[in-house]
Structure 1
Amino acid sequence: MSRYSLMRAMQRVSRPEWIVVALTATLAACAPLPPVANPAANQSSHQDSQQATASGAARPADGPLPVPPNLIALTQPAGQQRLMTTAHNQSYWPLSEYFETQRNEAYCSIASSVMALNALGIRRPESTQYPDFPYFSQQDFFRSVDPQVANAARVSKEGMTLDQLSAALGAFPVEVRKFHAGDLTLGQFRDLIRDTTGHSDRFALLNFRRVEIGEAGGGHWSPLAAYDAASDSALLLDVARYKYPAVWVPVTQLYAGAQAVDNVSGLSRGIVIVGTRAN
């Protein structure tokens, strides 16, 4: 949509419809291709596979991988409708303002973290990337993190486990809670997502395995931005935007993905909640 067309469209619609128009234009680059058969997934611990599929399906030359038929892309009308009608969408607005693409295929945990840190509106550090503007960035994330917990060189190759990211985020002025999915029932997992996405001062960072939600790849991190009770699905803001767009995923499948054992820790994956500290 051109800038002129967008301005003309906004003049003709009401405020709720204007939000949908703007959202569609902003996320147009993530629009999915028609669904195809689900590709086999790489089983690596943390970072997405560099292979499009294990079955030999062709990778689209001009965009991300096809969205599996069990998922609904945010750019689809049904995806937009869910976002606009659910009451549990308060995490979406601040997170979308700071939506990032991971710097490399193992930096999904870092991209997810800086999105949350910037969205919380807490005091920001000096940035080497933007010298005149304080900002949390992937480039500077490890400046305050104990290298014994995690460091840029190692994470660039291996990613981070649930316990590692929780410990790394403890170096920032935020409240951090971690939940291994193996310690949660499906109901508790759902309640955690619903309660968190209904607020704008705390965010859920999900560690899951892609194959359980029908996508290609291995272990991954991304924020959850909304929950829709009618479809029992949650909005996953995928930080690997070169690979998949933001999608609505059934909570039962997210739970299965979070239950998957991390090969490094030997424990289930899960959720890290990052929020502002109580005064």
Structure 2
Amino acid sequence: MASAAPLVPQRTFFKRPLPTSCTAFASPEGKALFAKALAEGNLESYFTLAPQMVTQNEPAFCALGTLVQILNALGVDPQRRWKSGWRWYDQDMLDCCRPLSDVAAVGLTMSEFACLSLCNGLRAVVHTPLLDPAGRAARRDEGLAQFREDLRTTSRGKGVIALSYSRKTLGQTGDGHFSPIGGWCEEEDMVLVLDVARFKYPSYWIPVSLAYDAMLPIDKATGQPRGYVVLDVAGNEPGSLDAPLSQTTVTLNKSTWASLNGSLSRLLLQSAKDTPTAAELINTLLSHLALTLPTSPIAGRASAAESLPLLLDSLSTTRLASTTPFASSPDPSAVLLNLTFLLALLSPRSALTALVPPLAAEELSALADEALARVEGLREEVDNAARQLGALGECCRSEEDNGAACGCARPGKGVKGLEGDAVPARGGGGKA
């Protein structure tokens, strides 16, 4: 009897030893740092994050693992089911700005990380170190002072910091990585990194100056340094247990939204010359969506298979829906979904609203207000879609401003550093 073929040898790893630059959280030295930080009152972020610690699901999911931990730690209601009857954030839900298959292949940039944060109801303030023309740290003392001030604020309970850094600077294997910061020992000037690649490294303390220097190496995907994001719950977002479940989600990513936004802007500007009625404008925009996109820009969530048809049925009885030939369409639900998306496109928070021809604007506003008032749950769906579009737009504008070589950015701009941008900036990404 022939013997079985030998197994193909495979190189595998079970954890890595921490380099000397890092002090293991569970070591005697790490415990001493923890005790000092606790006495200082600089571990509030640790006690927020620790109950929600996760391991990233994929080698390139460090950004998703970091964000899902922070979202759950800050008590953000995802407004969608996780499993059974429970609403809870999972890494597989974070696909607003990039398809998960893309993230699994190359990770996320800092702007995409901030985009995801905004999409999911967080306030995101991005900080990246300034560089001089030679690519070296500029105004380093000023940047370090800002970093320490943000560490002080977050470690005492106001928000959380997500750090995007190069592992190489710490003497670790790998390169670009994201992890949350769990606290700060002010006396020793050490920061606690809660590494989400827990299969590789445990949590550890590093000097604040080293953490800052680890942000400086250029991310090859963007041509920019890395940095950190201060995250907190946006004050106007729902977060209670009674908040309604979101039934739809925008299916565009940052690049497809940039393209669609541009074509819609041109279409609205052109339509101003034709002075269309509200009904004519609505059907022109719906036709544009159907003809220019391979799939609908908005889709129902799998968990809303029973509730979404009720919402669409109610929408179909409004005067707004009567302006469209949805009833004669091969897929009436798709037309009504696109009509919901259209309400988000032309909501007060959208820049496209200002481009609506005056003749149609007043009538369109009246039709929209009536539908939002009559259809239960429609306002929440429109607000949710508008928020996602806003986050995608901020991501694109930031990449455009900073000349990143990815996504929807314009090529040809020089590298520059930013301090304290309230919109997404460059940096970060990579594998564990």
Residue 141 of structure 1 is matched in structure 2 by 94
Work out which of the residue numbers 117, 131, 156 in structure 1 matches 2:104: 156
SS in 2 for 1:181: coil
Most deviating of 235-244 and 162-171: 162-171
**Alpha-carbon shift at residue 277 of structure 1 (Å):** 2.1
1:236 paired with 2:184, answer no
In the TM superposition, what are the counterparts of 1:211-226 in structure 2 within 5 Å?
211-226=168-183
Bigger share in helix: 2
Structure 1 residue 80, shift from structure 2 partner:
1.8
In structure 2, what is the equivalent of residue 23 of structure 1? none
Within 2, Cα distance between the matches of 1:249 and 1:241? 17
After the TM superposition, which parts of structure 1 deviate over 3 Å for at least 4 consecutive aligned residues?
none
Offset at 1:181?
Answer: 2.3
Q: Per the alignment, in what secondary structure is the counterpart of residue 54 of structure 2?
A: coil
- Higher Rg: 2
Per the TM alignment, residue 180 of structure 1 is displaced from its structure 2 partner at its CA by: 1.2
**Number of the residue aligned with 1:166:** 114
Same amino acid, percent of matched pairs:
26
The answer (yes or no) to whether the contact 1:127–1:137 under 8 Å persists in 2 is no
Query: Offset of 1:126 from its aligned partner?
Result: 2.8
Matched, 1:191 2:149: yes
The amino acid across from 2:232 in the alignment is G
Instruction: Kindly state the Cα deviation for residue 131 of structure 1 after the two structures are TM-superposed.
Output: 2.2
The aligned residue for residue 269 of structure 1 is 226
- Does the Cα contact within 8 Å between 2:36 and 2:187 map onto a contact in 1? no
> Partners of 2:171 and 2:156 in 1: how far apart?
26
- Determine the C-alpha separation between the residues in 1 that align with 2:226 and 2:174: 15
Out of 8, 18, 29, the residue aligned to residue 67 of structure 1 is 18
Match of 2:124 in 1: 176
Counterpart check, 1:84 vs 2:35: yes
Question: Normalized against structure 1, the TM-score is what?
Answer: 0.72
Q: Deviations over 1:229-254 (max 9, x none)?
A: 12211000000000000000111111
Q: Could you state the TM-score of these two structures normalised by the residue count of structure 2?
A: 0.47
Aligned to 1:28: none
RMSD of aligned residue pairs (Cα, Å): 1.9
- SS of the residue 2:130 aligns to: helix
Per-residue CA shift, 1:3-50, capped at 9, x if unaligned?
xxxxxxxxxxxxxxxxxxxxxxxxxxxxxxxxxxxxxxxxxxxxxxxx
Q: Which residue of 1 aligns with 2:235?
A: 278
User: Residues 233 and 248 of structure 1 are in contact (CA less than 8 Å); yes or no, is this contact kept in structure 2?
Assistant: yes
Segments of 5+ residues of structure 1 without an aligned counterpart are 1-51, 53-58
Paired AA for residue 244 in structure 1: Y
Q: Note the residue ranges of structure 2 that are not aligned, 5 or more in a row.
A: 1-10, 132-141, 237-432
Contact kept, 8 Å, 1:207 with 1:220, in 2: the verdict is yes
1:4 aligns to what? none
Count of aligned residue pairs for this structure pair: 214
Distance 1:71 1:194 in 2: 21
